[in-house]
Structure 1
Amino acid sequence: MRTFRYKSRSALLLLTVSLAACREDAPPASPIDVPREEQSAPFVSIDGMDNAAGFLRGTIQGQGDIKAVEVHVDGVLLGWAEVHGDEWSIPWRPGVGTRAIEVVGHDGAGVPARASLALQPLEFDTAHALYQPASLLTLPSSGSATTRYTLDGSTPRADSPVYSAPLVLLRSQGEPTPLSLIPTNPPETPVDWRWLPPRTPAGRAAVVRFQQFQEATPVGASGTRTYLIDASHGALPVMSLTVDAEHLFGFEHGIYVPGRTHAEDPRPDWIWGNGNYHQGGKDWERPLHVEWFEVDGQPVIAQGAGVRIHGSGSAALPHKSLRLYAKEDYGPKTFRAAVFPDQALDAYTRLIVRTSGQDLLFSKIRDCALQGLLRETSLHLQACRPTVLYLNGEYWGLHELRERYDEYYLASRHGIDRKKVAILELEGLLDTGEEGDEAHYLALLDFVRSNDLSLPENLAQVEAMMDVDDFIDYQVAELFFANGDWPQNNVKFWRYVAPEAQGPAATDGRWRWLLYDLDNAFLGDPGYDSLARVLTDESLPEWSVLLLRGLLTNADFKHRFVTRFQWHLDNTFREERVTAHLESLADLVAAEMPAHIERWGYPASVESWRYAVDAMRAFATQRPTHVRQHLEAAFGPF
């Protein structure tokens, strides 16, 4: 039978190849002339290298049950690989001078398939960029010490693999990503924001850590480097965090998981539940290594630091914000780099790697975009750069690199003594400073409660205690954005507690406001009357509306408030300006969104992400007209 004849010829070929594989120097079998309809050339690839075990691996696909792969290094036959199913592997430890690998695959079709790979020499000690082609990495070594290394992010220990040959760094194909499979909130979490496994295997960067040892004692050199092989993130910078996995994902003390805290007290009566990730303070700070790379892949930050979970309710979401601390405990006292091109600062004590808070479910750009609209005002704002994150080499998705509001932020912005800064929140709760620093603000509230602010002398007293112009800009922004999580929440303000009569404005001892967390703004109905809510809603806490309501009883303040609001509508919030700003930021992150969504499942799809961005654009188009009507309804024509 025809079918039997050609199957037999194919089997004969494969038998010849298999017998040849028994001799390392044997050439592959010659192709046999198989009719075109029976031919299907095999496919072969080089997929990865197990550096610790010393195995090169790949895949082969083709006809028949028996396949063969020959491997050549720098033009010399290394040998014939072991083939199991569609996978092949071969023992190999490269030499320092290795530059090229070629594999040739054979199957019953008789037509060989080839794959080749050039290796670039790379030395750990030389300045490096994130983006590299397939490389052969040489680690520092010493005749008096043993160099040990890890590739999973863990700190090298006395039982870690010994460095005995250069490490082969290839593009990630089928590499395990165990951290991406760890649930980061409990299974009873509401389905709308429950942890989801990656839809496809997460990408990987190569993270190499090494340490020299004398027996079991660490000595001499150590280091951590990240390389992204044959891949790029286009217009976005990249941050790589390297940490012992137990610090983030361990049941007892891991800060990224529900852990023991949830097991002992799930708190089902609170929507956000409870977990290790809701714990704060120094006891819940963990050491790690931080690398940050500019868009072209050049390294900007590479140092040890501390990390905590950032946020309150949003910490229960699957994808969490992180707060980074530069401290002498870990390395340099600052992150010394101009990471935000639109400001002159080049040193930061703390940085936030933010996930967009609750907006991670929707647009991913809301707070970053809305704060960015206010850059030309004198308001305090958090600089923002969309940034791709890798955690122990695993792709961790799209984040925002942000400044953090604290005493270091204010000191660096104004050149003031951070120890003389008081930051309060909500009704006057002390966030930063010394006990008693809240008394000045509480006295301000008492003054407003007990005095007629329509009188010029009383307004003057208030102006002596708070920056009224700053307060107006702050109120205008929150009202225009229709922030539903304000004014009863997300309120912070600060003052310099040792006023200087001849010093800069920031040292005058008056209260100024810190705008933040706009994740619940620019949502829903663009006609929503947020002004009427703040002026008339009796369900709002008294402290949250006391200042604005009291000040608006003064004709001069009312005129300043409405005039400034109208100026912002004509300029800051002009439709064309806002939509152009939104589109620019959305365009910047658009190429990254498919990979981010595959990794986290939030937003639900690229289409739903675009819908959320389009809704913000529509809000920006319609909002100014509605707000003008709200102003006229509240204050009459001006």
Structure 2
Amino acid sequence: MKGITFFTFVLLLCNTALWSQGDAIQQLEDPIEINFSAEGGFYRDEVELEISAPGSSVYYTLDGSRPSLSSKFYTKPILIRETTVVRVLAYRHKSRSREVGQTYFINEPETDFPVVSIGVTPFVLFDPVNGLFMKGSHAVDSLWTKPGANFWSRKEVRVHIDIFENDGTNVYSNLSGLRLFGGMSRLFPQKSLAIVARQRYGQNSIDYPIFGKGEPKKFKYLVLRNSGSDSRKSLFRDGLMTGLVEDWDIETQAYRPAHVYINGFYWGIYNIREKINRYFIESHSEADKDSIDMMEHRFISDLGNKEHYGNLLNFLQEKDLSVPENYQWVQTQMEVDNFIDYQIAQIYFDNQDAGGNIKYWRPQTEQGRWRWILYDTDWGFGLYDENAFRNNSLKFHTKPDGPRWPNPPWSTFILRKLLKNPEFERTFVNRFADHLNESFSPGKVGKKINDMYQVLLPEIPRHLNRWNLSLEKWQEEVRIMQTFAAERPSYTRMQLMDYFPTGAIRPFKLKATRGGTIYLNNNISVRQNLFEGSYFEKYPITVRAVADYGYRFVKWEGIDLDEQVRGFELKLKEEAYDLTAVFEKYSHPLAGKVMINEVCPFNKKTGDWIELYNQTDEVISMEGWVLTDSKNEFILPDVNISPNDYLVVCRDSVKFLGTFPTAYNVVSGLNFGINKRMETLGLFSRLGAVVDSVHFEVPPTDSFFTVSLLLPTLDNADFENWEVHYNNGTPNAPNPFYVESRIRQVQTQWMQMGLAAAVVVLCILLLILRAKEIL
């Protein structure tokens, strides 16, 4: 026994020694922590900076250079009297700290812009022979583009980046990669830059929503753009143009102006933009960044492969697009609405460089279609011609034999081919009229220009002074843009009339009373505000009235129609139109009783489907009822829902019944897809009263899923009462939570019955025992 006790003692002693040694090793391996006595930021007076790293030797630089053992050795506080980037490295024995940095802005002007500070070894940018900002010794001076110049390099260099919000908060401070960015604007002294976050620099992303609410929350890349060809003019043309269409079905880069410093020296105003690459696509779509095809220019592959796009081009080349079946196939290969909006924007802007800046992409899925990205629009809005509002850009963008630049035949090919289809032509002309009436109306565009002008006005003098530019010239550029905004719509309408058989222009007014929305061409929504616009005589428009929940559509005023007609196609034969959709308060007797119960969006295996549930004790006829996704509507055929039973409406009955062969009461032909990210669905009675509506938002996912109401008795207008299931769903059956709750309810009932029985048995036993005691 004593031997065992002694052995145990020795074992514990050795173990303790090992743990102590481990602690010592761990202490040696602990990362070196560098502390600054003052945080980087904005100061009115000089800063006395102390740097500490216990047990370590500290080396630092004040000119933006990367610190090393050959840098200044820290021995005493540093007095910082001017804006400075401090970069620091510490050594302890054979260990080295992670490099850190801080930017101290001393007595800089106040600003409402974010501020970006770049700390970079000076010769990397400014060395006359090798500096990336310099021409270098290999440039071909005889050519204006200076091929061979250093500034055409794609080299990435390690820098320190600080990003400060406009309230002075440092939102990003880290080593990052820096590259030059852009095309011909590299020739300018103020060059565009791209920042990239990589794990080898210490952080794989910039985790801050620099563009604000509703925009991506983190970024792999950010671009500090000099405004391209507009760099020495307005500085915000591209931001203006992409901002005008930010609510359209087009991918655009977010925009935010900022002040930039390099090694403590003010470098002017830059536009912070997103970088168009696979990370950008993933941030703005449901696509997986590793599963996309991306092309640019004529036929250059950036990501993925060319085969799908090549097949589309071959089809367009060989087939007659006036044949409806051919056009329908094209619609399965490219997102035609996106392409229409893209072309309309470029034509309205009169972007003279549109043919040189084309990017398009698709997800690598069976149903993936090509989409066009709007970017680099600086050559629009009268960049080099103050009378550019007169330019016939429609003719420019449909020219079959243009020069190599700026509008070669390949760049106009798809639009020319699609315009041979009557349906596309009508949609194109009406959509153009929609946008001229709304997004591109002189009032709206003029206000946007003025708003951006007012934001820049207090900040621009420093920038102009830095680059020896004139305030008067800058204001003249803004005036040119305002004139363009005021004049462009009327000239564009005339050019549409010259190119297409539009007939006369018809003034058109539209208004809704309280309780509903009018959808014009499935593109413009009108409520109580008065809509005034112009359309073309020969191209019919579509108008549809949709009631809010608790209201119903009553009638149209200003046109002779059956009161039950909510939506119609209107041929503009009259000189002018003034229509009003009348709604009234109304609670449908089946509201909350016939409901949308389960939704399956964008499912490759089953197709999209919607399940309706009738929780009444009566058979409900659904003939003439309408399902909507706000832009489209599907009218239900002659079909019933039995008491406490279901009706399933699907897009593709073959796919649906292939997955659910026992499904019943199924209606096929749903004519709209259901969005996976965010969707609003409505169920309307035959007379246009809202019976039910649901809205859901789901985080991006590559998986198939359904959203289902937890319990039929809950309010399905509140998405808190819905549940996401990553499977194909449960059509014609109770939802999973309902089944689980019923099981729990039955289990609880049996448990309660068992407890009651146990109590009864126990009481009987006690009575028997008591009786025996008495006897």
CA distance in 1, matches of 2:149, 2:440: 40
CA distance in 2, matches of 1:440, 1:461: 13
Match of 1:581 among 448, 454, 467: 448
CA distance in 1, matches of 2:38, 2:337: 49
Report what 2:729 is aligned to. none
Match of 1:451 among 313, 319, 327: 319
Report what 1:624 is aligned to. 489
Deviation at 1:127, TM superposition (A): 7.9
Report what 2:66 is aligned to. 155
CA distance in 1, matches of 2:435, 2:306: 32
Deviation at 1:124, TM superposition (A): 5.2
CA contact (8 A) 1:124 1:138 kept: no
| CA distance 1:134–1:212, change in 2 (3 Å) | same
Report what 2:399 is aligned to. 536
Report what 2:439 is aligned to. 572
Q: Which amino acid aligns with 1:211?
A: L
1:416-455 paired onto structure 2 within 5 Å: 416-433=287-304, 437-455=305-323
CA distance in 1, matches of 2:53, 2:477: 56
Deviation at 1:394, TM superposition (A): 0.8
Deviation at 1:268, TM superposition (A): 2.1
CA distance in 2, matches of 1:342, 1:457: 43
Deviation at 1:233, TM superposition (A): 3.9
Deviations 1:173-203 (A, max 9, x none): xxxxxxxxxxxxxxxxxxxxxxxxxxxxxxx
Matched, 1:268 2:142: yes
Report what 1:247 is aligned to. 124
Report what 1:223 is aligned to. 100
Report what 2:380 is aligned to. 521
CA contact (8 A) 2:225 2:270 kept: yes
Deviation at 1:318, TM superposition (A): 1.5
Deviation at 1:537, TM superposition (A): 5.4
Unpaired segments ≥5 residues, structure 2:
1-33, 504-535, 537-775
CA distance in 2, matches of 1:427, 1:142: 56
Match of 1:492 among 349, 353, 359: 359
CA contact (8 A) 2:57 2:73 kept: yes
Q: Secondary structure at the match of 1:261?
A: coil
CA distance in 1, matches of 2:78, 2:259: 25
Match of 1:343 among 214, 225, 244: 214
CA distance in 1, matches of 2:347, 2:67: 53
Matched, 1:409 2:274: no
Q: Which runs of 4+ in 1 moved over 6 A?
A: none
CA contact (8 A) 1:482 1:528 kept: yes
Deviation at 1:480, TM superposition (A): 0.1
Deviations 1:337-365 (A, max 9, x none): 01001434211111101001111121111
1:111-510 paired onto structure 2 within 5 Å: 125=36, 128=39, 130-142=41-53, 144-170=55-81, 172=82, 205-213=83-91, 219-220=96-97, 222-251=99-128, 253-262=130-139, 266=140, 268-280=142-154, 284-433=155-304, 437-487=305-355, 489-499=356-366, 508-510=367-369
Deviation at 1:166, TM superposition (A): 2.2
Q: Secondary structure at the match of 1:259?
A: coil
Deviations 1:260-318 (A, max 9, x none): 332xxx162354544111122xxx11111111111011011111111111112221221
Deviation at 1:143, TM superposition (A): 5.5
CA contact (8 A) 1:226 1:240 kept: yes
Q: Which amino acid aligns with 1:513?
A: W
CA distance in 1, matches of 2:229, 2:53: 50
Normalising by structure 2, we get a TM-score of 0.58
Q: Which amino acid aligns with 2:487?
A: Q
| Greater relative CO, 1 or 2 (CA 8 Å, sep 6+) | 1
| CA distance 1:225–1:567, change in 2 (3 Å) | same
CA distance in 2, matches of 1:512, 1:530: 22
Q: Which amino acid aligns with 1:219?
A: R
Normalising by structure 1, we get a TM-score of 0.70
Q: Which amino acid aligns with 2:116?
A: M
CA distance in 2, matches of 1:250, 1:595: 26
CA distance in 2, matches of 1:552, 1:143: 73
Deviation at 1:138, TM superposition (A): 3.4
Q: Which amino acid aligns with 1:290?
A: I
| Percent identity of paired positions between Structure 1 and Structure 2 | 32
Deviation at 1:131, TM superposition (A): 1.5
CA contact (8 A) 1:233 1:592 kept: no
CA distance in 2, matches of 1:261, 1:402: 31
Q: Which amino acid aligns with 1:225?
A: Q
Report what 2:416 is aligned to. 549
Report what 2:519 is aligned to. none
Deviation at 1:448, TM superposition (A): 1.0
CA distance in 2, matches of 1:373, 1:221: 44
CA contact (8 A) 1:129 1:297 kept: no
CA distance in 1, matches of 2:54, 2:327: 77
Q: Secondary structure at the match of 2:390?
A: coil
Rg larger in structure: 2
CA contact (8 A) 1:211 1:218 kept: no
CA contact (8 A) 1:131 1:232 kept: no
Deviation at 1:383, TM superposition (A): 0.4
Deviation at 1:227, TM superposition (A): 1.6
CA distance in 1, matches of 2:391, 2:47: 60
Q: Which amino acid aligns with 1:627?
A: T
CA distance in 2, matches of 1:159, 1:438: 51
CA contact (8 A) 1:239 1:390 kept: yes
Deviation at 1:247, TM superposition (A): 2.1
Report what 1:202 is aligned to. none
CA distance in 2, matches of 1:136, 1:306: 29
CA distance in 1, matches of 2:376, 2:249: 18
Report what 2:606 is aligned to. none
Deviation at 1:428, TM superposition (A): 1.6
CA distance in 2, matches of 1:279, 1:484: 27
Report what 2:547 is aligned to. none
CA contact (8 A) 1:272 1:313 kept: no
Matched, 1:634 2:499: yes
| CA distance 1:368–1:310, change in 2 (3 Å) | same
CA distance in 2, matches of 1:127, 1:558: 64
Report what 2:470 is aligned to. 605
